[in-house]
Chains A and B, each alone.
Chain A
Amino acid sequence: MSLLTLDNVTIRFGGLTAVDTLNLEVKQGEILALIGPNGAGKSTVFNLITGIYKPTEGAITFDGKPLGGIPTHKIAEQGITRTFQTIRLFSELSVLDNVKIGAHCRGTAGLFKALTRLPSMKREETDLEEKSIKALEFLDLVAKQNEMAKNLSYGEQRRLEIARALVSKPKILLLDEPAAGMNPQEKVILMEMIRRIRDTGITIFLVEHDMKLVMTISERIAVLDYGKKIAEGTPLEVRSDQAVIEAYLGSGKFKSRIRR
């Protein structure tokens, strides 16, 4: 069953077509990876899904509902959360606060409740604290809950970003190069973590450069080059696809990668 569908999605920035008639389906409960050479448009796809960019043509549907025109801050509400290529944490805030803010879209307390501290708000706060601690436990960060986010190690920061993205109980989690900067041991832990997340019922859509990780963990892979999808299938199929090999390694003939 398709959870997220990109239907002929195209986006142009002036003369540059960053994503070209992309048709992609992310099935419920799967781990789908998006790969491609640098500049292929992978992060752009994420930005399109989360409403940072609007497609020039085409439509994106999530869980049956069209995403067109929904502003970025309403995307999380729908059940789509993400991590970023360059870690975007709330550095001066505590680890616990970072996660609590992740659940912002699930809260209802407004200005009035904030100033009057009604019992319903207190309940929501206690609830929030519980959920946040659970998310931290899931990612093994409870011990550091009162540390400032900027004091965490790189690997811990990446885990924190994931915890923040999970606490709102999303339907799909977009991971933007989650393994970037990690050493092999951390990558193994990451793969384990991704599987565990999927096992709780969350669909995973990731962009990644580390081929070994992608081949090990993905159930399906889509390949992007110059904004176009050039291959899609199981890791085995994609690995031996001629177009993919050419895109990454070249065809043996000199083909300039300078766009004309």
Chain B
Amino acid sequence: MNNLMQQLINGLALGSIYALIALGYTMVYGIIGMINFAYGEIYMFGAYSGLVLALSNYVNVYVALLGATLITMVLGVVIERIAYKPLRRSSRLSALISAIGVSIFLSSLMVRLKGPNTRGFPKLFENKIFQIGSFQITIYQIVIIGVAGLLMLGLHLFINYSKTGRAMRACSQDQDAAKLMGVNVDRVVSITFAIGSGLAGAAGVLAGIYFNAVQPYMGLMAGLKAFAAAVLGGIGSVPGAMIGGLMIGMAEILGVTVNLSQYKDAFAFTILILVLLFKPSGIMGRKVNKKV
């Protein structure tokens, strides 16, 4: 039982990171119906931004987090304008291929900028371990769960109680109707990308701290797993992405405990494929009837 508690905490921490990235996927998909394949790379950029900021001696963890988030927000908006906006009227295939192009470009850019090797993350604060009964929780984990939780709460409040949030929800239901109601869809799309990218960037910094490692290709894995999380939770649903992320994180940790750690990367993908085959609308997704 106590071991379960321990795994729960570990899973929660890992899952929070996936959830943050998954939120980006689900929001963008909900509004413009495309999978931003490059979210993993934006997450990676966040991690590196945090790294660069942390290495300059003037910053503490909060500034690094904030800075990385801002950088990735800008990055996200720029990507959208350059690589996705021109293809909004084109086929989904084109948009997806373009997204793959962005993903490849970003990861190889980082290889050029910072080298292909894994870099450690500087210690921004001491990692104390708290012993509660027979399980442990580290400060890192508390920070991750805390920050992620705050961000998700903030997002929830923003989407449901702000004017822009309402515009976003309108766009995800019916873009044309929203346009007719005076919503500036372009602006909403940019804001959505900015938020999603910011979340991914924050997740990147948190991951850098937690795993003490950043490498240019970390985005691919994390991105795919986060996508699996978004689909599991129901693509297009914000609470779904949160739940999905936590579940994928949990599944991975549990996989390690049952001695399947070498295959842990494959868990997320297996879950993804199973979900796509049997319940593509995910846990909280809405079922769309095909109209001929």
> Direct A–B touching in the complex (beta carbon < 8 Å)?
yes
Residues of chain A having any CB pair with chain B under 8 Å: 13, 43, 47, 52, 84
Interface string of B164-207 (1 = CB under 8 A from A): 00000000000000000000000000000000000000000000
Q: Does B289 contact A (CB under 8 A)?
A: yes
Cβ-based interface call for B292 (8 A) = yes
Contact B292–A84 (Cβ < 8 Å) = yes
Q: Ordered nearest first, which 4 A-B pairs have the shortest CB separation? A: A47-B292, A52-B292, A13-B289, A43-B292
By beta carbon, the residue of chain B nearest A88 is: B292
Closest A residue to B290 using CB positions: A52
In the complex, chain B residues whose CB is within 8 Å of the CB of A47: 292
Question: Could you pull out 5 A-B pairs where Cβ atoms are within 8 angstroms?
Answer: A13-B289, A43-B292, A47-B292, A52-B292, A84-B292
Binary contact track B264-292/A, C-beta < 8 Å → 1, others 0: 00000000000000000000000001001
- B289: chain A residues at CB < 8 Å are 13
CB distance from A248 to the nearest CB of B (A): 24
Q: How far in angstroms is the closest Cβ of chain B from A91?
A: 11
Please, how many angstroms separate the alpha-carbon atoms of A47 and B292 in the complex? 8
Q: Tell me the smallest distance from the CB of A118 to a CB of chain B, in Å.
A: 35
Nearest Cβ on chain B to A220's Cβ, whole angstroms: 25
Chain B residues whose CB sits within 8 angstroms of the CB of A52 once the complex forms: 292
- Using CB atoms, name the residue of chain A closest to B291: A43
Residues of A within 8 A of B292 (CB): 43, 47, 52, 84
Q: Smallest Cβ distance from B159 to chain A, in angstroms?
A: 27
Smallest distance from the beta carbon of B285 to chain A beta carbons, Å?
A: 16
Residues of B within 8 A of A13 (CB): 289
Rounded to whole angstroms, the CA-CA distance of A43 and B289 in the bound complex is 15
Measured CA separation A78–B289 after assembly (Å) = 27
Closest to A46 in B: B292
A236 CA to B289 CA, complexed, in Å: 38
Bound CA span A84–B289, Å: 18
- Bound together, the chains give a CA A214 to CA B21 distance in angstroms of 56
Q: In the docked arrangement, what's the CA distance between A214 and B217, Å?
A: 63
Question: Shortest beta-carbon distance, B111 to chain A, in Å?
Answer: 37
Separation in Å of the B271 CB from the closest CB of chain A?
28
A241 to B21, CA, bound (A): 61
B11 to A: closest C-beta gap in Å: 36
Q: How far is the CA of A76 from the CA of B1 in the complex (A)?
A: 61
Complex alpha-carbon distance, A47 and B291, angstroms:
10
Which of chain B's residues has its CB closest to A85's CB?
B292
A84 closest partner in B (C-beta): B292
CA A211 to CA B289, docked complex, whole Å? 30
Chain B nearest CB from A252 CB (Å) reads 33
A181 vs B55: C-alpha distance in the bound complex, in angstroms? Answer: 65
Alpha-carbon gap, A43 to B290, bound state (A): 13
